[in-house]
Amino acid sequence: MPHEPTRRQAIAGLGAALLASRARPAMALGAASQLDVAEIMLPSGSTSRPAAWSRMLYELIQTTSVEANPQAVQLAPDDPALFAHPFSVLVGVDGFDPLSDRAVEQLRRYLAYGGFLLLDDGTGSPDGPFAASVRRLCRRLFPTRPLSPLPGDHSVYRAFFLLDAPLGRVAVSDVLEGVTKGPTTPLMYCPNDLSGALDRGPDGTDRYPVVPGGGEQRRQAKKLGINLVMYSLTSNYKHDQAHVAELMRDGKLE
């Protein structure tokens, strides 16, 4: 199916590049249709890192064709407004109390009908109290589908960038975990504190040091953030046959 570009295609590609260089800024029909981040706030155990998500969305806008509104809104898990924000995060810094039945029911519907939730472990400890709370929550949301490590060929690792590991502020785990339903994984758990790597202080400097990889690890964390957003929009698109075949031909996949 893939084929070498012809001379005609090469000329067409050059034309496309020239046209793209004068492309207007992308915007949806109304800001409400643009992608943003909903931070789910709990009475205890969670935190808000809007600057981290703004940075992630800014990187997304600069790097990809996705139209985004680089802001984060804070919502309770049972707030119906959650349904206006299909990409949501829950950043944990400690264990949290069990959610109300109403909140669990809403989250379940949110994830079942197209929402995406990233559970970001700000503690940097995959065996810590936040992780335990996450697993307890997942059992309530998906009683028959446990939170499991995502395989190395999962689409989230190739949604835009090719990633070897899901690095964040720390690198305590080589894998993301998630709950997969059919062809999609609507819930993922990142043990490496992604938002910690992206967060910035009021002066615009990085809020936390990234260990052990320093600047390069922070760069990888940006790539992970972009991949997570791209995955939430395209799900298993990168597993479509056309992509797999071409990436293998280019030597990017084995």
By CB under 8 A, name the binding residues for other proteins: 2-3, 5, 8-9, 11-17, 19-21, 23, 26-33, 35, 59, 62-67, 80, 82-84, 86, 106, 109-110, 112-115, 158-162, 182-184, 223, 230, 232-238, 240, 242-243, 246-247, 250, 252
* Nearer of residues 105 and 206 to other proteins, judged by Cβ: 105
Q: Shortest Cβ distance from residue 30 to other proteins (Å)?
A: 3
Q: Shortest Cβ distance from residue 93 to other proteins (Å)?
A: 28
Q: What are phi and psi of 221, to 5 degrees?
A: -65, -40
Q: What are phi and psi of 108, to 5 degrees?
A: -60, -45
Q: Shortest Cβ distance from residue 160 to other proteins (Å)?
A: 6
Q: What are phi and psi of 120, to 5 degrees?
A: -105, 120
* Nearer of residues 82 and 134 to other proteins, judged by Cβ: 82
Distances (CA, A) of 220 to 74, 133, 140, 170, 172: 26, 27, 32, 11, 14
Q: Shortest Cβ distance from residue 128 to other proteins (Å)?
A: 31
Q: Residue 169 corresponds to which tokens in the numbers above?
A: 């502020």
Confirm if 73 and 37 have CB atoms less than 8 A apart: yes
* Nearer of residues 82 and 172 to other proteins, judged by Cβ: 82
Q: Shortest Cβ distance from residue 4 to other proteins (Å)?
A: 10
* Nearer of residues 49 and 158 to other proteins, judged by Cβ: 158
Q: Distance (Å, rounded) from C-alpha 196 to C-alpha 51?
A: 10
Confirm if 84 and 63 have CB atoms less than 8 A apart: no
